[in-house]
């Protein structure tokens, strides 16, 4: 099944958020935008500026050309959606919780390495 490309930047932003399976609240936090503003963007009541485009592209690995014009692929280098979502959620955490997550990952890796395969 081929994905239909939205006709406007605003609608493509919604398409990205849905492809990543993120709520408006989570998506907007990552790009430092209010969820109300994002909702307005998605229904084309708010404008999208270069800053928003750059933040979306850098935060979620989105192809800027696709976001602006609909040409090309949605994501750069076809990133793993789960990894992109994980990165977005991690960025929402305060620094103390980010440190905690990293320590837990280190512990899980140590446990994994100790298990014979």
* Residue 110: domain span: 9-114
Q: How far is CA 57 from CA 53, 68, 88, in A?
A: 6, 10, 12
Residue 1 located in a structural domain:
no
DSSP letters, 46-84, are S---HHHHHHHHHHHTB-HHHHHHS-S-SBTT---HHHH
According to the model, what pLDDT value does residue 51 have?
Answer: 95
Tell me, rounded to whole angstroms, the distance of Cα 79 from its chain centroid: 11
Do the beta carbons of residue 48 and residue 13 sit within 8 Å? yes
We report the CATH number of the domain holding residue 37 as 1.10.260.40
The pLDDT tens digits for 77-93 are 765 777 777 888 888 88
- Indicate the number of domains in the chain: 1
pLDDT tens per residue across all 117 residues of the chain: 445 666 899 999 999 999 998 999 999 998 989 999 999 999 999 999 999 999 999 888 899 999 999 999 999 876 577 777 788 888 888 999 999 998 998 888 888 888 887
pTM above 0.75, yes or no: no
């Amino acid at each position: 099944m081929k994905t239909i490309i939205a006709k406007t930047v605003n609608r493509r932003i919604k398409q990205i958020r849905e492809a990543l399976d993120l709520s408006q609240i989570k998506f907007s936090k990552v790009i430092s935008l209010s969820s109300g503003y994002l909702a307005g963007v998605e229904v084309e009541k708010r404008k999208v500026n270069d800053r928003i485009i750059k933040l979306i592209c850098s935060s979620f690995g989105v192809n800027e050309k696709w976001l602006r014009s609909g040409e090309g692929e949605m994501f750069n280098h076809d990133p793993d959606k789960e990894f992109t979502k994980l990165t977005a959620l991690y960025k929402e955490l305060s620094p103390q919780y980010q440190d905690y997550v990293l320590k837990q990952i280190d512990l899980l890796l140590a446990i994994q390495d100790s298990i014979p395969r």
